[in-house]
Amino acid sequence: MSIETGPSASASAAEQEPPEPIVCSCCGKVTAQPRYAIFYEVKSFIVQTTRSAIQGIFCSACAEKKAFRASAITWILGWWGFPWGPIYSIHAIFTNMFGGKQPPDINARLAAHQAWVFAVLGKTDMARAVALDALSITKKIKPDKAYARMKKALGYDVTDEGAEIRAQIEKLLELIGSAGGGNRLKDAWGLFRRPFYVQGVVACVLFGWLGYAIETAPPSLPPRGPKPYVASQESYAPPRPAYVRPANAPNGQPWPTAAAYVNGFPHIHTNGFSKVTVDNSQNDSDVFVKLVSLDGPNGFPVRAFFIPGHASFTLDKVTAGNYDIRYKDLSSGSLSRSEQFSLEEKRTDEGIQFSNMTMTLYKVRNGNMKTYGLAEDEF
């Protein structure tokens, strides 16, 4: 989760300053049903899969657009890496189709805040309807059992967050009284609405077409020559110069024993909030990785780190901006580069939103992999 919620509004603050309603982070409109939602966008690039979380507080119309965009990009670019491309893509497409991930604890607080704002502004009818909406969201809050058990074991009181928010909302409903009447909000986020059907139909059509294309595709063998001929089994390829795994990092420092930054390389762009995880857990080979900033006239490395095979490493406090990942497979010596990606950071009333990105590296077959325009001098 990449949102830090600020302190919840207290009753005393209400008397001092007019409350700010929560607005859609996209269009800036005040909505009766703002939701914090997370959509996923997947891009694969043969040797790696990138999954980005697109998150924010949205009105239902903007959420619909975000979900469509993320799903469309995933449909086009998500599949082309095996096996994580298809796995992440299917997860992303389904999550987006069902309205994204909507953490109920945050959303109950958002709705409760909005109800309180409407109440202070004297829109009791609206306030009541939004408070009832908030109340229904609290039912989806599941206590974190492991955390609760741990707290209990340490002798603390275990608080039920859902019950706590519910109590606040009920208190608010009491204050509003029955003046508002019994109006309920029309659920702008209901599941079986237009976006769900449209995305569902697109999914069915594309899967159907894919199935048909696979069924009817001719076998993809090259045509035979006019005379029977079978080449001899000898290989004429010149032998490659043998690659030797370097004993140390290029600056002479030893490789770390676990996933870690390599000493002596730049460690900058550290005043941000974004996180980038490079997941090498699918790969037997150790990799030497650089995070390269693309914001200047020339790209330059801002972090350099080592990840053993079957491990992963998370860079944190990364400054917002445009980057790519470049890495050397230390078993084969092959060099690869990711697509450019951007890390974003945004301050909202609810806290700071930032990017949280995972890049999965795949197994690279020994030495026979073409690289992506990444020459030794670009690494």
Binding site for Zn ion (CB under 5 A): 24, 26-27, 59, 62
**Which residue carries 């991930």 as its tokens?**
101
Q: Which is nearer to Zn ion, 22 or 262 (CB)?
A: 22
Q: Which is nearer to Zn ion, 56 or 308 (CB)?
A: 56
Q: How many CA atoms lie within 13 A of 371 on its CB side?
A: 18
Q: Which is nearer to Zn ion, 27 or 260 (CB)?
A: 27
Residue 346 CB, nearest approach to Zn ion (Å): 14
Radius of gyration, CA atoms only, the chain: 26
Residue 324 CB, nearest approach to Zn ion (Å): 31
Rounded CA-CA distance 364/284 in Å is 9
Residue 60 CB, nearest approach to Zn ion (Å): 8
Residue 141 CB, nearest approach to Zn ion (Å): 25
Q: Which is nearer to Zn ion, 22 or 292 (CB)?
A: 22
Residue 247 CB, nearest approach to Zn ion (Å): 56
Q: Which is nearer to Zn ion, 87 or 188 (CB)?
A: 188
Residue 117 CB, nearest approach to Zn ion (Å): 17
Residue 303 CB, nearest approach to Zn ion (Å): 35
Residue 314 CB, nearest approach to Zn ion (Å): 31
Q: Which is nearer to Zn ion, 188 or 374 (CB)?
A: 188
Q: Which is nearer to Zn ion, 26 or 374 (CB)?
A: 26
Q: Which is nearer to Zn ion, 59 or 289 (CB)?
A: 59
Residue 28 CB, nearest approach to Zn ion (Å): 7
Rounded CA-CA distance 169/352 in Å is 25
Q: Which is nearer to Zn ion, 59 or 130 (CB)?
A: 59
Residues in contact with 325: Cβ distance below 8 Å, sequence separation at least 6, in sequence order: 48, 276, 278, 289, 290, 291, 292, 337, 338, 359
